[in-house]
């Protein structure tokens, strides 16, 4: 059922337009451009979740670098609802 609801949400929302300050946008792009060296190794549950959040941040950085529209000191980006939701969940 959760997947069915997700499909309905995606069909109705899909993308969300957000404005991000330059410093936040540049940090997200830097996360995308960062190279990971070495193996992850054994992780705690908290480390696993933090790595997932870092991946979500990097994907937002990719979207900014490919499709972001700079307007003064802000970037305007149409994020997929998953990326916007991941960012919102991280703030909770």
**Residue 70 in tokens:** 């700079």
Give the domain range for residue 67: 2-34+44-91
24 in any annotated domain? yes
39 in any annotated domain? no
Beta strand pairing call for 69-71 and 15-21: unpaired
Helix, coil or strand: residue 74: strand
pLDDT for 77 equals 97
pLDDT tens digit at each of 92 positions of the chain: 999 998 888 888 889 999 999 999 999 999 999 887 667 678 899 988 988 999 999 999 999 999 999 999 999 999 998 899 999 999 98
50 in any annotated domain? yes
Instruction: Please check whether residue 14 is in contact with residue 80, taking contact to mean a CB–CB distance below 8 angstroms.
Output: yes
Q: Which residues of 47-78 are buried (b: 16+ CB within 10 A; e: fewer)?
A: eeeeeeeeebbbbbbbbbeeebeeeeebbebe
Number of domains in the chain: 1
Q: For residue range 4-25, what is the model confidence (pLDDT) as tens digits?
A: 998 888 888 889 999 999 999 9
60 in any annotated domain? yes
Whole-model pTM: value is: 0.83
83 in any annotated domain? yes
69 in any annotated domain? yes
């Amino acid at each position: 059922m959760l997947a069915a609801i997700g499909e309905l949400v995606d069909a109705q929302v899909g993308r969300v337009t957000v404005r991000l300050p330059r410093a936040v946008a540049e940090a997200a792009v830097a996360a995308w451009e960062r190279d990971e060296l070495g193996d992850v190794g054994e992780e705690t549950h908290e480390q696993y979740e933090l790595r997932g959040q870092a991946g979500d941040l990097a994907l937002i950085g990719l979207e900014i670098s490919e499709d972001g529209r700079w307007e003064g000191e802000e970037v305007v980006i149409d994020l997929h609802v998953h990326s916007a939701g991941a960012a919102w969940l991280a703030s909770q």
